[in-house]
Chain A
């Protein structure tokens, strides 16, 4: 093994070098892995969680194998080892101080992440927000942390750098954890298509459609647990902590044995669980007690804390109830989190609420299968008033009208016509800016061709709203998912966002709205400036100020909105405020000692 020692000697001389893109085996572990320690200076560590003894195929002797160990390929661990070897002036692979350093590394980082799971007594308990807050709090303490939600049902999806589709809630949590989101943090995404059928996205890519029965009856037993196990395992090897989010309530006893989103995931990850209850709607104590007690006894012991969320008014008012709850369950209440108003991307149906503001009035048509309505969060920054409207009369007085994304363009186009939006929108064409995003853009054109029956009940052609001449064709099951960056077509100002769609649109001679910088420059969207009609596939197009200004200016709204900030900066600031509120509300000493477990090196 002398040549291995020589390799380590070379590595010690070089120090930190990041990913080795030039290596023919790269990435041999995971995307973005660090390659500074291709040969481990601590070999053989013999830590059971990092490797195992195997019989050598060559010599037949028992040797230490750590082929699956990711520990030293974590960027934070690798940097730390490089820094310390330089500081300690370790250049010799046989230096006995490497042993001492390994103990230090194991005390500073976890060789396997500790999992903490946030359960909700109801679907709107505030699980997602709690996970977001804890990701930021734990990262602020200097640890690497990843969020995780095994399955998420949401039409608000987002695209990762590698083009994988995950829920926007997990994307926000990744931002709180200060990591680049990938599909591992939300390996199953269910996108409801209507009538109890959902498109199931597995590890970022469309897998198949299921109804409730076949999802629980076939998908979960055949695929669900395996998906869960491999993704949790991946995250545990790469982080100090994994903060997991449950789905709905963990006490849905009719589906308990097939529930991979709650205690099923907690068991796989060996997680300590915290139950969050929303006190705003009343019955919080009953829901907390009932949830814990309906979880079968063998799993119940994993529930180690309760958080009462969304309190309006004095927390001390609850003291007596908290004491009784703690006595009855033997589980501590870690804190009472006040109701907090923050500007963070909204989740699901809760997010489809009107936003008050004194600025321009934006009417968003509330399509039955509206998706990606987080697109409008950035308008709050302009002080815009955002109204979700479901009848044509409500368009009156709007400074801008938006037809948003939809999970089913053909179905929602029919709805628009049935409700009378088609006539109303044509009469407003040229008077008020009308913007279609993604599905809304497809509906705006002259027609939608669906020769394979992907969107409609069967193959067919559907007449569009006629606001643009665009023709959209659904000619393949392929789904286009990509993060994009570019500028307004005029060249003035940046735009950034992501595309998630099936089908493609022919501009039929209209000017483009954006220039997207992919491999080259791609013309995207449509702009009919005379008629004030715009369409684009880009979600998040309001995030940067340029397009917000452009769209409002088109309506003649020249008022100064005065917010030059990137929506992301605003979100960052609100994440810090969220973390502050949770730090204040929770018994942090208790949280650290009982949930974070001080790391000690096993040797």
Chain B
């Protein structure tokens, strides 16, 4: 089953948006694509047709694929409410109890398997940064998901706040050596200006890591449903009357740009490699 996972060098790197873009891009080419994110830490949730609660970003990605959102696309949702207090939602429903991690992860894998059986391609999204070395033993949302689903991965870095090469290189290097083998490429997101000045740095990172640069996405002030409070700075406009339609119109604009900015052949070859 072809699949591809987008990891973040930081939590607001733009994983959700890049995932939505790639979902839409493949969907435009006639592929049957489905989004998946093991775990969302967010207060921005959506409710599917059966009343199951899920992260807004996967609902949006489902629309990008032309699908009805389903909570199995985001089997674990953690909603912080108050200092140190969390509500855990597994497969769309709140679950009580301590130490839910393993239960959550096995449910997530079941959801993934069922989606993979129903669709042609799965686009996965990691959670936060993939290299939080203090959480190495407890993180289920990034490399553990990639390993268990056999998904190749791509690191997304936000260049707008600076240090993107360090962020991407550091993320790659802090992964365990066997996990690094799964990471095939990187995307530089939110670039303003003339991207030819980045050339030497991109080549250097490619040489140091063996990853391929899959493209430089320009900064576009476009409003999309933001995943969490860190991402509210979006700016841009929403026009029309139905906000969902306005979001999709904005996504189409991004995908038009991505058609030129991302190396789609390489993305396809990584996807093909993953199914082999």
**Which A positions have Cβ atoms within 8 angstroms of B?**
120-124, 196, 212-213, 248-249, 251-255, 281-291, 293-294, 313, 317-322, 324-325, 328
B129 pairs with A248, CB closer than 8 A: no
Which of B9, B136, B173, B201 is A283 in contact with, Cβ under 8 Å?
B9
A248 to B160, CA, bound (A): 10
B51 proximal to A (CB < 8 A): no
- Which residues of the other chain, B, contact A317 by a CB distance below 8 angstroms? 134
Which of A120, A254, A281, A288 is B197 in contact with, Cβ under 8 Å?
A254
- Which residues of the other chain, A, contact B167 by a CB distance below 8 angstroms? 121-122, 283, 286-287, 290
B174 pairs with A286, CB closer than 8 A: yes
Q: List 28 A-B contacts (CB under 8 A).
A: A121-B163, A122-B161, A122-B162, A124-B161, A213-B194, A252-B201, A253-B165, A253-B201, A254-B165, A254-B198, A281-B161, A283-B128, A283-B131, A283-B171, A284-B129, A285-B133, A286-B167, A286-B170, A289-B166, A290-B169, A290-B170, A293-B166, A294-B165, A318-B134, A320-B133, A321-B133, A321-B135, A322-B134
A285 pairs with B131, CB closer than 8 A: yes
Residue among B13, B84, B134 having the largest count of chain A Cβ atoms under 10 Å: B134
A212-B193, A251-B163 are known contacts; what are 9 more A-B pairs with Cβ within 8 Å?
A124-B162, A281-B161, A282-B12, A283-B11, A284-B129, A285-B133, A287-B166, A290-B171, A319-B134
A293 pairs with B173, CB closer than 8 A: yes
B132 proximal to A (CB < 8 A): yes
Given A212-B193, A282-B132, A290-B169 in contact, is the A248-B201 Cβ separation under 8 Å? no
Which of B165, B193, B200 is A251 in contact with, Cβ under 8 Å?
B165
Residue of B nearest to A281 (CB): B10
- Which residues of the other chain, A, contact B200 by a CB distance below 8 angstroms? 253-254
A282 pairs with B166, CB closer than 8 A: no
Residue of A nearest to B198 (CB): A254
A251 to B130, CA, bound (A): 20
Residue among A196, A253, A287, A322 having the largest count of chain B Cβ atoms under 10 Å: A287
B254 proximal to A (CB < 8 A): no
B147 proximal to A (CB < 8 A): no
Given A251-B165, A291-B166 in contact, is the A286-B134 Cβ separation under 8 Å? no
A251 pairs with B161, CB closer than 8 A: no
- Which residues of the other chain, B, contact A251 by a CB distance below 8 angstroms? 163, 165-166
- Which residues of the other chain, B, contact A328 by a CB distance below 8 angstroms? 174
B132 pairs with A291, CB closer than 8 A: no
Residue of B nearest to A291 (CB): B166
B199 proximal to A (CB < 8 A): yes
Residue of B nearest to A290 (CB): B170
Top 5 nearest A-B pairs (CB, nearest first) are: A290-B170, A321-B134, A249-B163, A283-B129, A290-B166
Measured CB to CB, the closest approach of chain B to A403, in angstroms, equals: 20
Residue of A nearest to B83 (CB): A313
- Which residues of the other chain, A, contact B132 by a CB distance below 8 angstroms? 282-283, 285, 321
A313 to B8, CA, bound (A): 22
- Which residues of the other chain, B, contact A319 by a CB distance below 8 angstroms? 134
B168 proximal to A (CB < 8 A): yes
Measured CB to CB, the closest approach of chain A to B230, in angstroms, equals: 7
A435 to B166, CA, bound (A): 44
A255 pairs with B197, CB closer than 8 A: yes
A290 pairs with B133, CB closer than 8 A: no
A121 to B157, CA, bound (A): 13
A252 to B199, CA, bound (A): 12
Measured CB to CB, the closest approach of chain B to A454, in angstroms, equals: 25
| Per-residue interface assignment for chain B, residues 108 to 134, with 1 indicating a CB less than 8 Å from any chain A CB and 0 otherwise | 000000000000000000001111111
Residue of B nearest to A294 (CB): B166
A293 to B8, CA, bound (A): 19
B163 pairs with A248, CB closer than 8 A: yes
- Which residues of the other chain, A, contact B204 by a CB distance below 8 angstroms? 253
Residue of A nearest to B135 (CB): A321
B201 pairs with A281, CB closer than 8 A: no
A210 to B82, CA, bound (A): 49
Given A212-B193, A255-B197 in contact, is the A285-B170 Cβ separation under 8 Å? yes
Measured CB to CB, the closest approach of chain B to A426, in angstroms, equals: 25
- Which residues of the other chain, A, contact B8 by a CB distance below 8 angstroms? 282-283
- Which residues of the other chain, A, contact B174 by a CB distance below 8 angstroms? 285-286, 289, 328
Given A254-B200, A293-B169 in contact, is the A249-B162 Cβ separation under 8 Å? yes
